[in-house]
Every structure is written in structure tokens, then in C-alpha cells.
Amino acid sequence: MKIPFTLPYIGPEEIARVTETLQSGWLTKGPATVQFEQEFAAYVNSSHAVGLNSCTAGLHLAQIALGIGPGDEVITTPYTFVATANTILHTGAKPVFVDIDPISMNLDPALVEAAITPRTKAIIPVHFAGLPCDMDAIIALANKYRLYVIEDAAHAVHTNYKGRPVGSIGDITCFSFYATKNLATGEGGMATTDDESLAERMRVASLHGMSKNAWNRYSDKGSWHYDVEYAGFKYNMTDVQAALGLVQLQKLPAMQRRREQVVARYNAALASCDSLHLPYDDPRHRHAWHLYVIRLKPAMLAISRELFIAELGKAGIGTSVHFIPVPHHPYYRRLGYRPSDCPQASHAYAHAVSLPLYPGLSDAQADAVIDAVMAILAKNRK
């Protein structure tokens, strides 16, 4: 039985809704995108949502809308997908990596203050795996030093922080609907904010800087004329993506319940493995469980992380590693960043393995993952 690391959860409802859009005569940003923006904003309790072609586009536009550019510094975590840091470079600003807390694997707020300089403009926390960052501490620092908070919520589409949905907390929050994410539209993203002028700036910047988009121009009340006030980007969502998103959003609570069941199964079985760190959770919040990341304890195991992954592969189980810390990548090393600048992230990376976790994973498949993990650990105890 081969168990892939990840699988999208697409059913007849998505196929029917996409077909409806394909037959509607409107493929790019239009009525389905507007509806998805409204329903998504309501889901995360935010006033505005801007549909985009990716979370990466959202992170870029958020910084553009907040006026971040050359000469500025933006604090973020090294333990993220490289998109977070790349978008800071795209604005001309400088990424400043602050190490993670080794338990939560999120940005360590206790280390953030020392990294703030007069040039710091924003903090981009990443809710790793779906566990929210310590937002009270991050918002307190942002208020004290007048910094913006842009959340990378690529993993956090269902996350609550002390009962507050992620998407309603920082100045701007960016979500990903990439194929592997909890809510998938293939490619896609959303930026949410309570600030109407920020939403409008992101909307305009997402469509070439045009004062009116095609959706307005070609509607009954539209006209052919538009003004370009700014050299914007082409970052808009399409109605085909939104059609998928509308159905996935309906299914999200049920998909999350299944993720939680798989996590409970993993936790119950693997709790007895003292050679593993299991993922951290905090009952004050709601974890979105995008990823289930175990970490090997090297002092207790005579097997490397690489061999552990290879053994799972031989047992037919797909895995992944989240994340290669950004300062490890050759390009960032050439910019002068060093893995040794973030020892906790580097240590976590060296021992982390992400196990399969998705709504379509059956109990039998989860048990096969558990059995394989436990067998490899038992064979390789020091």
C-alpha cells in the first residue's frame, strides 16, 4: 500500500462548480471571485479579502500597500518556505531572520526586540504547520515600535488564536490555496485586512494599477475607460480558482475534523515513542494541522533523519521536510546570511520529518504510517 505524502481532496461538488464557471462565459476575476472573497472574509472574521493568484503575491502586495521598500528591514522567521523571504527582497527591503522557539517552532518573540532597528518596518510571523504564533507578544512589540504585522497564514486557514481567527489579527494576513494546502485551488491566495484603504491598494496593485478592473469595465454599468496611477502587478485570482475555493470553503470544517482525527490517532500511538518529539499544541488556540512534523531525538537513535526517510519510503510512505531554513539556501548565503545565525531553526530542520496528513487519509493508512514509524524506531534505538 503506497501512501503519498499529500493528496488534494477534490470531489464531484468541485467538478460541478468549476464546470458551471467554465460554462458561464467568465473565466478570470469576476462574480465567483467576488463571492469567494466575501465568504472567505466572513470565515476569518475580516472586513476585506482580496483574491490573488498566490500567497506569495499577497505577501508582496501587503508590503507594497504598507509602503515597505528599499532601506527598510522586515523581521521574519527562518523556518518558512522561501516565498516569505523572497517577497521582502522583491520590495527592495532587507529580510532579518529571528530564530524560532524550539518547542512551538514559531518565531520566538523574546528574540524579536533585539533585532528591531530604526529601519524595521514590519514583522512577518509564519504560523508554522497551523499553530498560531504568540500574537499578543508580537502585537505588543509592533505597537511599542510602530511596526506593521503581516501574517503569513499559508498553513493557517482554520487557525484560531485565543478564539480569534487568524485573518482578523494583524494589519494584513495572507493565505495560500496552493495544491497541498488545507484549502486548495491549485494555485491561489487571499489577503485579508480590516483597513479598507489597504484592501483597495492591494486590489489596484493586483491588476496593473488600473483604476477599474475588467470585471467593472465589462459589466452593464462599466465603461471602456480606465486610469493607471501606478505600475502594478498581475496577481489577481481567476473565477475558475474561486469556483474551487467556494466549494472547498464549504467543505473546510469537515476536512479539518478529519485532519484532527488523524492527528489524534498519530498522537495516541506515537506518544509512547520517547525517541521522538511530537508536534506541539496549545489548548488555548485552534491548530489548523496543515502539517504533522515529528522530530527525531538524535541522542536516542542510531539512524539519521535521511535514512529514516529512506526507510519510510521503502515501506511505501511518502514524507517531506518542512522547512529548509531560508539562510541555508545558496542564494541567501551569497547575500551573507548563515545557518549558524539561527541555531534553533537549523537544529529543528536537521531532525524534522513531516508525515502524511490530509482529509483523504484513512484510519488504515494512518495505522500503516504509525506501524512503519514505530518499527524503524524500535530497530534503531541506541
Ligand X SMILES: *Cc1c(COP(=O)(O)O)cnc(C)c1O
Q: CB nearer to ligand X: give 123 or 126.
A: 126
- Among 21, 33, 84, 365, interactor with ligand X by CB under 6 A: 84
Among 75-83, 131-139, 245-253, 341-349, the segment contacting ligand X (CB under 6 A) = 75-83
Residues 6+ apart with CB under 8 A from 176: 54, 55, 56, 153, 154, 155, 188, 189
- Among 189, 325, 327, 359, interactor with ligand X by CB under 6 A: 189
Does the footprint of ligand X cover residue 176 (CB under 6 A)?
yes
Asked about 212 being catalytic, the answer comes back as: no
Sign of CA dihedral 23, 25, 27, 33: negative
Contact (CB, 8 A) for 205 and 197: no
The minimum distance between CB 80 and ligand X, in angstroms, equals 5
End-to-end CA, the chain: 30
Beta strand pairing call for 94-97 and 73-76: parallel
Among 39-47, 63-71, 152-160, 242-250, the segment contacting ligand X (CB under 6 A) = 152-160
Cis amide linkage into residue 323, ω under 30° from 0: yes
Which set of grid coordinates corresponds to residue 166? 487568524
Among 81-89, 197-205, 217-225, 358-366, the segment contacting ligand X (CB under 6 A) = 81-89
Q: CB nearer to ligand X: give 125 or 359.
A: 125
**Choice among 162, 181, 234, 379 that is catalytic:** 181
Does the footprint of ligand X cover residue 81 (CB under 6 A)?
yes
- Among 18, 68, 96, 154, interactor with ligand X by CB under 6 A: 154
Does the footprint of ligand X cover residue 199 (CB under 6 A)?
no
- Among 37, 73, 134, 152, interactor with ligand X by CB under 6 A: 152
Does the footprint of ligand X cover residue 56 (CB under 6 A)?
yes
Distance of CA 305 to the CA centre of its chain: 24
Q: What is the DSSP string of 159-218?
A: -EETTEETTSSSSEEEEE-BTTSSS--BS-EEEEES-HHHHHHHHHHHBTTBSS-HHHHT
The minimum distance between CB 129 and ligand X, in angstroms, equals 9
Among 139-147, 148-156, 243-251, 372-380, the segment contacting ligand X (CB under 6 A) = 148-156
The minimum distance between CB 182 and ligand X, in angstroms, equals 11
Does the footprint of ligand X cover residue 292 (CB under 6 A)?
no
CA–CA gap between residue 145 and residue 147 (Å, rounded): 6
Gyration radius from the chain CA atoms: 21
Q: How far is CA 167 from CA 1, 61, 93, 305, in A?
A: 38, 16, 24, 35
Does the footprint of ligand X cover residue 126 (CB under 6 A)?
yes
Does the footprint of ligand X cover residue 83 (CB under 6 A)?
yes
Does the footprint of ligand X cover residue 80 (CB under 6 A)?
yes
Any idea which residue has 539562510 for its cell?
327
Does the footprint of ligand X cover residue 173 (CB under 6 A)?
no
CA–CA gap between residue 128 and residue 141 (Å, rounded): 20
**Which residues are tagged catalytic?**
181
Residues at the site binding ligand X, with contacts judged by CB under 6 A: 54-56, 80-81, 83-84, 126, 152, 154-155, 176, 178, 189
